Structures are given as structure tokens and as C-alpha cells.
Amino acid sequence: MAKDRVVLAYSGGLDTSVAIGWIGERTGAEVVTVAVDVGQGGEDLETIRQRALDCGAVEAYVADARDEFASEYCMPALKANALYMDAYPLISAISRPVIVKHLVAAARQFGATTVAHGCTGKGNDQVRFENGITSLAPDMHCISPVRDLALTREFAIDYANKHDLPIETTHHNPFSIDQNVWGRAIETGFLEDLWNAPTKDVYNYTDDPTYPPLPDEVVITFKEGIPVAIDGRDVTPLQAIQEMNKRAGAQGIGRIDIVEDRYVGIKSREIYEAPGAMALIQAHRDLEHITMDREQARFKRTVVDRWSDIVYEGQWFSPLKRSLDAYIEDTQQYVTGDIRMVLHGGRAVVNGRKSETSLYDFNLATYDAGDSFDQSHAKGFIELTGLPAQLAAARDVKFGRGVAIGKAKLN
Ligand code: ARG
């Protein structure tokens, strides 16, 4: 009888390299690795593929998903201006679903019934992998060698040395890092003391904003919520993010230091750097200010708040997420135009906006003579909008419960 097969999300690092042999030993299954390029940089996919085979994988699937990730995961996050806890642009949270898609594709292709990943039992990523997998493939099982098969770091080093695996075991990075084109997440090590400021070596996508180069002015053209040109040159979503990573990164834009509420209940210290994402969100949000109806924008904030939470919590493929997407997508219909901003010293500041689909009406807004706004309507408008609170206040006064103003009582 053919052996069972397990598909393993493979990074090419020590833990997942050891997991190939370890899963085989512990479960008797054959291991198929899956490595997905989401713009994390580092080793090329062919090197990673070969290492997987050298470590005992029966098949090694690799996918360059950079454009897919940028277009189908980063762009929805941009349309949402998505920031978990008003701060974190969901870097890791949006990359897990695209990896999950490829894991399921590989599982189908190579006849696997179980998916494995390298997450610990303490983080959000395990939830995102496993809920993602079962949302796309309800028949699939999930396993985490670190969490479920006692694959500790010490064990991994021993195992790699004993089996002579082609992977470095001496180099020890003090941080746990996850990165892709949308940004970089850094945690653990001395950052776990909340009073310790991040040191220079924590950062890689951004230069120190304290000593910035000269200001960099950029014009970003959006079409229906998506950046389509930078300084007049056409760009794909991936190119837009990459270019803004470079230019905003050089100015130290998008550094974030936050104590974050993890889904599993832990508060944890996280450092992020997302220069392109933060600059694009800033520009996109500003364009929405001139192109989006006030009530639609107000409701969008509620929708986006929920969207960010559920994406953080690994519900990318859930029915609610799909429905919220439909709302957000609809709001982007007129989010088309140019935003000019200056990147400098850690900040991206918008100083010009232009749109054919703008709702800004100069003649209504101007304080110069000849405006078209009829101020005589304002008096009645205020009387009616203030009426409910006025009635309530009158009742308070009648019953001696007027609002206290300093020591005096009103009325
Ligand atoms: N706390 C962030 C999140 O949950 C970042 C996770 C980064 N993952 C990692 N393995 N270092 O989205």
C-alpha cells in the first residue's frame, strides 16, 4: 500500500528542514515540501527546493507567488487601509492565506491528506494556517511538528548534525523574523523586555529616520483603490510596493513598535517595518477623503475594523470576510486620482491631491466671494440637528438635573 503523504510548509530554515525527516520518522508518511515566494528575499527557490530534496522530501513544490500576493492579498489590505490595533498592517496575517492556497494545491497534486507547518503553539500563525487549510479543504488534517511532535530547537540542531543535513546549525538569530513584500515582523530576544528599545540591527527594510537623506517627493496614481503609476510610470501592484519600500524605507518610514494582543490571549512585543505599505496606506486614505461619500466612509471604518480583526485571526477564507470584501470593493469605485506626498525623516506627508472623481467642490468650500453655498440654510439645519438634545436638556432642568458646569449649575 502507498504511504500517506504530508505536505509541509517549508522555509528552507533549520526547523522545517529537520521536520522533513522527523515527520517521516514519527508518522511513517512521505513528506512533500512547499516553499512560496511572497517577496521575503533571501535564498532563491531552486536552492530551497534542492535542500528539501536533500533533507529527504519525496517532492518539493515551489511557487513564485509575489505578484499573486501583491495583487490578491496586499491590495485588498490597502483598499481596507487595514491596521490591526490601529497600527499593524497585517504583514504575516495576509501572507499565510496565500501560502495556504499553495499548500492545498500541492496536497491535491501530490495526494496528501495532511498539512504540516513550522509554527509554535503560542502564536497566531498556527491558527491562520490551520483555519485556512480547513476552510479551503475541509477534509484535510493539520499537524505542527514543533507543537505536536516535540521538535525543539536543541533537538533540531542535534538531529541536523547527526543526519548531516545540508543546513547551518551554528548561526543563531536572536530574533524570530517573518518578512514579505508587505513588510517585516521581528520579535523575541531582548525585545521581550518592554523597556528595551530596539537596536539598529533589528531593522532591515528601513534606514534610521533620525538622519534622513533629502526629502523625496512622489506622486502616486490610483485607479479604483489600487496604485497604477508612480511619478507617471506605470507599475504593477508588486512594483508599486517594491518601489515604495525602497523610497519610503530610505526615509525610515513605517517603523512600528507595539505590544500586541495576540489571538491566543498573550500580549507580545512586536517590531514591524513596512515602509511601502504605510506610505501607500497614507496616500490611499487621503485619496478616499476626497472621493468617498461621508456616510459610506464612516461605515467603511466599522467594516474595516472588523475586516482587520478577522484577517488577523486567520479568517481570510471565511464567509464574513468575503461579505466585508464586497462592501470594501464597492467603496473603491471612485477612488481614482493622484496623491502627491513628501517622504522625509520617518514621515510620509500628503501635500497635494487631484481626482476626476473627487467630491470636493471648490465653489462650495471657498471662503472667497461668489461661493455657491447658501449659508441661510445652516441656521435651520443646526436647530433641527440640535433639537433632540435641547429637549432632553429642558427636561433635565425641569427635574433639577441640569449639567453641572464647574461649580455652577446650568440654568
Ligand atoms: N505578531 C504578528 C502576527 O501575528 C507577526 C507574526 C510573525 N511570525 C513569526 N513567525 N515571527 O501577525
Condensed to tens digits (0 to 9), the pLDDT of residues 174-207 reads: 899 999 999 999 999 999 999 999 999 999 999 9
- The verdict on whether residue 128 carries a ligand-binding annotation is yes
Distance 237 CA to ligand 1 centre (A): 23
93 Cα nearest atom in ligand 1: 12
- The verdict on whether residue 193 carries a ligand-binding annotation is no
- The verdict on whether residue 327 carries a ligand-binding annotation is no
117 near 15, Cβ under 8 Å? no
pLDDT at 217 over 60: yes
Q: How far is CA 87 from the centre of its chain?
A: 10
Ligand 1 pocket residue status of 93, Cβ below 6 Å:
yes
263 Cα nearest atom in ligand 1: 4
* pLDDT tens digits, one per residue of 1-14: 789 999 999 999 99
The predicted structure's pLDDT at residue 410: 57
The predicted structure's pLDDT at residue 372: 93
- Residue 171's pLDDT band, with cuts at 50, 70 and 90, is confident
- The verdict on whether residue 17 carries a ligand-binding annotation is yes
The predicted structure's pLDDT at residue 169: 85
- Average pLDDT of the segment spanning 371-395: 96
- For atom 6 of ligand 1, the residue with the nearest CA is 92
- Average pLDDT of the segment spanning 18-39: 97
pLDDT at 230 over 60: yes
- Average pLDDT of the segment spanning 213-239: 98
- Residue 37's pLDDT band, with cuts at 50, 70 and 90, is very high
- Residue 45's pLDDT band, with cuts at 50, 70 and 90, is very high
* pLDDT tens digits, one per residue of 245-276: 999 999 999 999 999 999 999 999 999 999 99
- Average pLDDT of the segment spanning 328-336: 98
176 Cα nearest atom in ligand 1: 11
pLDDT at 411 over 80: no
pLDDT at 241 over 70: yes
Ligand 1 pocket residue status of 178, Cβ below 6 Å:
yes
- For atom 10 of ligand 1, the residue with the nearest CA is 178
The predicted structure's pLDDT at residue 170: 81
For a pLDDT cut of 70, what percent of the chain falls above it? 99
- The verdict on whether residue 15 carries a ligand-binding annotation is yes
* pLDDT tens digits, one per residue of 273-316: 999 999 999 999 999 999 999 999 999 999 999 999 999 999 99
Distance 138 CA to ligand 1 centre (A): 25
* pLDDT tens digits, one per residue of 333-366: 999 999 999 999 999 999 999 999 999 999 999 9
Q: What is the mean pLDDT of the chain?
A: 96
The predicted structure's pLDDT at residue 407: 64
The predicted structure's pLDDT at residue 405: 78
- Average pLDDT of the segment spanning 153-161: 94
Q: Rounded to whole angstroms, what are the CA distances from 116 to 22, 55, 256?
A: 12, 16, 31
* pLDDT tens digits, one per residue of 76-109: 999 999 999 999 999 999 999 999 999 999 999 9
Distance 27 CA to ligand 1 centre (A): 28
Residues with catalytic function = 15, 96, 125, 176
- For atom 9 of ligand 1, the residue with the nearest CA is 178
- For atom 3 of ligand 1, the residue with the nearest CA is 92
- Average pLDDT of the segment spanning 360-383: 95
The predicted structure's pLDDT at residue 403: 84
Beta bridge partners of 272: 185, 256
